[in-house]
Amino acid sequence: MYRFDFTPVIANAGLLAEGLLNTLKVTGTAVVCGVALGLGLALLRLSRRRFLAWPAGFVIELFRTTPPLVQLFWFFFALPLLAGIEMTPFMAAAVTFSIQSAAFFAEVFRGGIVSIERGQWDGALAIGMSRRQALRRVVLPQAVKRMIPAFMERSIELMKTTTLVATISYADLLFEANEISEKSFRPLETFTVVALIYFVVIFAFSLAARRLERRLALSGETTAH
């Protein structure tokens, strides 16, 4: 029978905490940049001008239909050579996941904006607002509220995807797990503990998201699917 020994994992708790912090750092950066970029992409895609809508659509589709790990390798190994710049693992991860999540957030924004009834636009235009004013003052505030569940789901997905940065040796939680398991020859204990840490953190976020979603559903303002 195998003898479990968690002491090497506990001794390295500091490393794991640092790793978790780095995971949250990448996720946070990608969510913030992704939302901003995503809104821009969504508005471009909704534009009536083809030369704006078409490239935005292409970027969105490209990043939604290629595997994130391939994107990450491209930004880490290929882009620095192509652009003649130095890329740290953090930069590559931040750039990849920002653009990738922007593509997904763009679709969330677009869905939200499209879901607002025509009458809202008509009313705003009728009282003399320009299209841009109508978007900013009338349509977006309502759309954003409806998008919150989809937005949270995407952010949780993103957090899980950030584990890929371990493959380009950015010191996230999974990377630290690999290090500890190699040094201590205790992969079973290390990976089990790390899986549980991920579960606790992500499950907490999921529960919070579900709670918020239920509250929004009560007020009748959601496009929860």
**What residues line the site for another protein (CB under 8 A)?**
2, 61-62, 64-71, 73-74, 77-78, 81-84, 159-161, 163-164, 166-167, 174, 177-178, 181, 187-188, 190-192, 194-195, 198-199, 202-203, 206
Q: Which is nearer to another protein, 54 or 203 (CB)?
A: 203
| Residue (122 or 185) nearer to another protein, CB | 185
Closest distance to another protein from the beta carbon of 66 (Å): 5
CB of 41 to another protein, least distance (A): 17
Q: Least distance from C-beta 162 to another protein, angstroms?
A: 8
Neighbours of 133 (CB within 10 A): 14
Closer CB to another protein, residue 66 or residue 88? Answer: 66
Residue 151 or residue 198: which is nearer to another protein going by CB? 198
Evaluate whether 20 touches 173 at the Cβ level (below 8 Å): yes
Taking the complex as a whole, how short is the minimal distance between the CB of residue 212 and another protein, in angstroms? 17
**124 or 166: CB nearest another protein:** 166
Q: At its nearest, how many Å lie between another protein and the CB of residue 74?
A: 4
